[in-house]
């Protein structure tokens, strides 16, 4: 088999890269170890920056997003039961769109298949090689047979647990990581939103987040210990805890409903540098993980793909390689800014085990400053809606 760009992973990063390259006349093949049903059923983030929305439009996959996505002009921070609104539109002139990553994935798969794109689901034992030279190859098994895909470049879009990053020699990359002493317990439930916008809650019992996926579907999170198990959290306990942490009118408006999906997500910050090794490019979670507090994970993946698609398109159009060579440096600047923002939001809103009363008061002072200062609110808003692309 032969293609121009071989892509490992059919998440949003790999699919969007394939779609953008297709629009430039560049051939791709996507290899995905999971089934299509599994990929389309994964529940993930759902807050899209303005730049992400614009790029999905440019990729010709934004129609359904605009039909059913929810445009939010701000968020609310709840401190001590009192809610403070951060008005994105007034502070930055921009907004975010709530549209689930699952739906983005479906839109991209449909677009690629409608255009005759090659997505090979349930590709097993995927391995990448030769990327340090001019003839990269991807080997895999499909339907019991071994195959080899020859290509010019490899897009490593296979997530944190994928094969691309771990194939790179350890002495060729530097890893930065921070593990947080808490996790998020999240549920998806068919219950009406209690607010028109997301509510981030700081509470003495721990952080909570109210968000939504549609006018009838809510996504809610509570801070828990990383070693807790789902069987310790029956639905009734979760709804009771959400009411305590949300407080006020939001607690009174919250309607219990059976959870459609329930999960515990550990919290970590992770960056692997560089993001390019010869003709292998890491993108999205394969290269970096952020705590979900800042809603940056999917948006960072999209930003990586934007840079990579442009670099590859320029190479095929003119032979120009400087954008390819600059790929990692260009992406890493944005990655670390998103890491800083995500760490800051996480540190400001969560309860840290073992934190002393002095540190608790500093945290409250930070929240008071952010909600009381236009300059501080603007800084939060500017980062949340998405920093400008380079």
Q: What does the pLDDT look like over 93-142, one tens digit per residue?
A: 999 999 999 999 999 999 999 999 999 999 999 999 999 999 999 999 99
Q: In which residue ranges of the chain is CATH 3.50.50.60 found?
A: 5-71+96-177+268-345
Topology annotation, domain 180-266+353-385: D-Amino Acid Oxidase; Chain A, domain 2 (3.30.9)
| Mean of the per-residue pLDDT values of the chain | 96
Under the banding of pLDDT at 50, 70 and 90, the label for residue 214 is confident
Give, as one character, the DSSP assignment of residue 388: P
Under the banding of pLDDT at 50, 70 and 90, the label for residue 42 is confident
- The one catalytic residue among 288, 292, 327, 350: 292
Q: How far apart are CA 344 and CA 205, in angstroms?
A: 19
- The one catalytic residue among 72, 106, 202, 350: 72
pLDDT of residue 199: 97
Under the banding of pLDDT at 50, 70 and 90, the label for residue 43 is confident
Residue 350 bears catalytic tag: no
- The one catalytic residue among 99, 296, 327, 350: 296
- The CATH number of 5-71+96-177+268-345 is 3.50.50.60
Q: What digits encode the pLDDT tens for the residues 12-28?
A: 999 999 999 999 999 99
Residue ranges of alpha helices (H) inside 203-247 are 235-246
- The one catalytic residue among 200, 221, 291, 350: 200
- Note whether 197 and 87 are within 8 A (CB): no
* SS (HEC) of 290-346: CCHHHCCHHHHHHHHHHHHHHHHHHHHHHCCCHHHHCHHHHHHHHHHHHHHHHHHHH
Residue 292 bears catalytic tag: yes
Read off the pLDDT of each residue in 194-210 and give the average, rounded to a whole number. Answer: 95
Give, as one character, the DSSP assignment of residue 354: T
DSSP string, 150-190: E-SEEEE-S-TTSSHHHHS-GGG-EEEEEEEEEEEEEEEES
Residue 200 bears catalytic tag: yes
Closest CA to 94 of 131, 34, 54, 65: 54
Residue 72 bears catalytic tag: yes
Under the banding of pLDDT at 50, 70 and 90, the label for residue 46 is confident
Residue 221 bears catalytic tag: no
- The one catalytic residue among 180, 221, 327, 384: 384
């Amino acid at each position: 088999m032969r293609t121009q760009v071989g892509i490992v992973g059919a998440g949003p990063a790999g699919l969007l890269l394939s779609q953008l390259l297709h629009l430039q006349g560049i051939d791709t093949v996507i290899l995905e170890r999971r089934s299509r049903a599994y990929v389309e059923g994964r529940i993930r983030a759902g807050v899209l920056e303005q730049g992400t929305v614009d790029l999905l439009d440019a990729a010709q996959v934004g129609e359904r997003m605009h039909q059913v996505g929810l445009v939010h002009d701000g968020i609310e921070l709840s401190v001590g039961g009192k809610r403070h609104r951060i008005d994105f539109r007034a502070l930055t002139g921009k907004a975010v769109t709530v549209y689930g990553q699952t739906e983005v994935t479906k839109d991209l798969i449909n677009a690629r298949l409608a255009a005759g794109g090659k997505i090979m689901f349930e590709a097993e034992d995927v391995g990448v090689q030769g990327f340090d030279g001019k003839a990269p190859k991807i080997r895999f098994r499909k339907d019991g047979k071994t195959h080899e895909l020859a290509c010019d470049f490899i897009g490593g879009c296979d997530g944190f647990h994928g094969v691309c990053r771990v194939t790179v020699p350890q002495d060729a990359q530097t890893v930065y990581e921070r593990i947080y002493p808490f996790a998020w317990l999240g549920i998806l439930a068919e219950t009406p939103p209690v607010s028109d916008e997301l509510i981030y809650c700081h509470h003495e019992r721990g952080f909570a987040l109210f968000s939504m996926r549609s006018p009838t579907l809510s996504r809610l999170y509570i801070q828990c210990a990383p070693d807790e198990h789902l069987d310790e959290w029956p639905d009734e306990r979760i709804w009771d805890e959400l009411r305590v942490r949300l407080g006020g009118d939001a607690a009174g408006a919250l309607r219990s409903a059976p959870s459609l999906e329930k999960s515990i997500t550990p919290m970590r910050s992770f960056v692997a540098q560089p993001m390019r090794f010869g003709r292998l490019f890491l993108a999205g979670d394969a290269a970096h993980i952020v705590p979900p507090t800042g809603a940056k994970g999917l948006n960072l993946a999209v930003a990586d793909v934007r840079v990579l698609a442009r670099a590859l398109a320029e190479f095929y159009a003119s032979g120009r390689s400087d954008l390819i060579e600059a790929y990692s440096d260009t992406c890493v600047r944005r990655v670390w800014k998103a890491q800083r923002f995500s760490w800051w939001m996480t540190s400001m809103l969560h309860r840290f085990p073992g934190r002393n009363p002095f540190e608790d008061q500093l945290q409250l002072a930070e929240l008071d400053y952010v909600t009381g200062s236009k300059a501080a609110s603007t800084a939060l808003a500017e980062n949340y809606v998405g920093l400008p692309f380079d």
